[in-house]
Amino acid sequence: MALIVQKYGGTSVGTPERIQKVADRVIRTKRAGNQVIVVVSAMAGKTDELLRLASEISSSPDPREMDVLLATGEQVSIALLSMAIREGGLPSVSYLGNQAGILTDSKYGRARIRDIRAEAMKQDLDDGKVVVLAGFQGIDGANNITTLGRGGSDTTAVAIAAALHADVCEIYTDVEGVFTTDPNIYHKARKIKRISYDEMLEMSSMGAKVLQIRSVEFAKKYNVSLHVRSSFSDLPGTIVCQEDEAMENVLVSGVTYNKNEAKITIKKIPDRPGIAARVFSEISKNGIVVDMIIQTPSSKGGHANLAFTVPITDYPKALKMIQKLAKELEAGEVVGNEDVAKVSIIGVGMRSHTSVASRMFVALAGEGVNIIMISTSEIKISCLIDAKYTELAVRALHDAFELDKSPREESL
């Protein structure tokens, strides 16, 4: 008997009709002779609605109470889905994160799963019940409710699949799989049949929200192969798995964009040892993760301009902090810019091919898009650009690398 983990995102459980459809699929899977754990997100828009509610009460809500609030979204959907499965004639039991023994650290809003005490769920599975588990939430060592960050239900699903050695982990969503770029941005995007963990990690961290980055980290670490597919059809989706030789033959497998970063520039900062260390230690002390960095010496010498990007959610805090620090360092003006976007190309094939970067820059230049910053890794190149050119840049890069024709992909 196989153990199957199925995860359904917000849109897939967004209405009572859709919950009914999910219940039908779960029942089919169970009746085919499998054990089934279903992980569900909050109904579409619910988490955003809760965030809005909190912002009407406080401009900086207490993080602990925020997690208590956000975790309620998933409580609604597990109860409704479990009821629907029971209506369909199968025994089913819902579990909140704390009931399921999902133990996390205490970092509210971005907690990491440390351990899963799954005995109760295992017993229910052995008793022939379907287990319906709330995604996105857990409990810390002091019994506080925690949440795993936006998109965290993906991580709950992969973690439970790893902990229980599930045979399959299926991620059901509102698109047919992982595409060469966001299919809602470019109609020429193609579904990728197989993608390596490393490429998927880059895709997720560069903005493709179809899988939360931590879920891919977990999947890679515990070698859980993922099947990302549509909850609206039975078509096969994308398998996220270990790299194989065929993957190396494709130069670029995807294009991503991320509008959730902002740029901060410190002008005329003293150009001497220890200054960058001071700036970035201060930022990291405040728990802010810096992404791209560029330093350009001024022509007269003695000073430099230092620019970097931070997540947009940390931007107001980072800007305030840097303004204060710039005064202490006797630097010049501090300039912030929220109207930036990062476009990236990703592919394991880049490791063994030259001229990928120049092809990217030529494609952007061809559309008159100015590059503000560049960063690279072994399998990725990112450019920071003016946000208003995001869609244009994504399409130009998709065309330049002929992703609509790539052999690893199949058309929509």
- Site residues (CB under 6 A) for ligand ADP? 9-12, 41, 151, 173-175, 178-179, 181-184, 208-210, 254
SS3 assignment, position 374: strand
- Residues near Mg ion (CB under 5 A), total: 2
User: Which residues have CB under 8 Å from 330's CB, separation 6+?
Assistant: 270
Rounded-to-integer distance, Cα 356 and Cα 193, Å: 23
65 binds, among Mg ion, ligand ASP, ligand ADP, none (CB under 5 to 8 A by kind): none
Smallest separation (angstroms) from ligand ADP to the CB of 269: 36
Smallest separation (angstroms) from ligand ADP to the CB of 208: 4
73 binds, among ligand ADP, ligand ASP, Mg ion, none (CB under 5 to 8 A by kind): ligand ASP
Nearer to ligand ASP, 150 or 227 (CB): 150
Decide if residue 135 touches Mg ion (CB under 5 A): no
Q: How many CB atoms lie within 10 A of CB 375?
A: 16
Smallest separation (angstroms) from Mg ion to the CB of 140: 23
- CB neighbour class for 308 (10 Å; exposed up to 12, middle 13-18, buried from 19): buried
Determine contact, residues 256/181, Cβ cutoff 8 Å: yes
Distances (CA, A) of 264 to 347, 373, 385: 29, 12, 14
Nearer to ligand ASP, 4 or 78 (CB): 78
Q: Quick one: tokens of 296? A: 């350009």
105 binds, among Mg ion, ligand ADP, ligand ASP, none (CB under 5 to 8 A by kind): none
Interface residues toward ligand ASP, by CB under 6 A: 9-10, 41-42, 47, 73, 135-136, 150-154
Nearer to ligand ASP, 12 or 305 (CB): 12
Q: Please report, as a single letter, which amino acid is at residue 369.
A: V
135 binds, among ligand ADP, ligand ASP, Mg ion, none (CB under 5 to 8 A by kind): ligand ASP
Decide if residue 151 touches Mg ion (CB under 5 A): yes
Rounded-to-integer distance, Cα 104 and Cα 405, Å: 43
Q: Quick one: tokens of 306? A: 């230092």
Torsion of CA 77, 78, 80, 86, to 10 degrees: 160
Smallest separation (angstroms) from Mg ion to the CB of 41: 7
Smallest separation (angstroms) from ligand ADP to the CB of 157: 10
Rounded-to-integer distance, Cα 190 and Cα 262, Å: 30
Nearer to Mg ion, 154 or 202 (CB): 154
- Work out the end-to-end distance of the chain between its first and last CA atoms, rounded to an integer number of angstroms: 33
Smallest separation (angstroms) from ligand ADP to the CB of 33: 27
What does the radius of gyration of the chain's CA atoms come to, in whole angstroms? 23
Pairing of strands 137-139, 145-147: antiparallel
Q: Quick one: tokens of 362? A: 């030529």
Minimal CB distance residue for Mg ion: 151
Nearer to ligand ADP, 212 or 305 (CB): 212
184 binds, among ligand ASP, ligand ADP, Mg ion, none (CB under 5 to 8 A by kind): ligand ADP
Nearer to ligand ASP, 34 or 99 (CB): 99
Facing residues of 115 across strands? 103
Facing residues of 306 across strands? 266, 295
178 binds, among ligand ADP, Mg ion, ligand ASP, none (CB under 5 to 8 A by kind): ligand ADP
Binding site for Mg ion (CB under 5 A): 9, 151
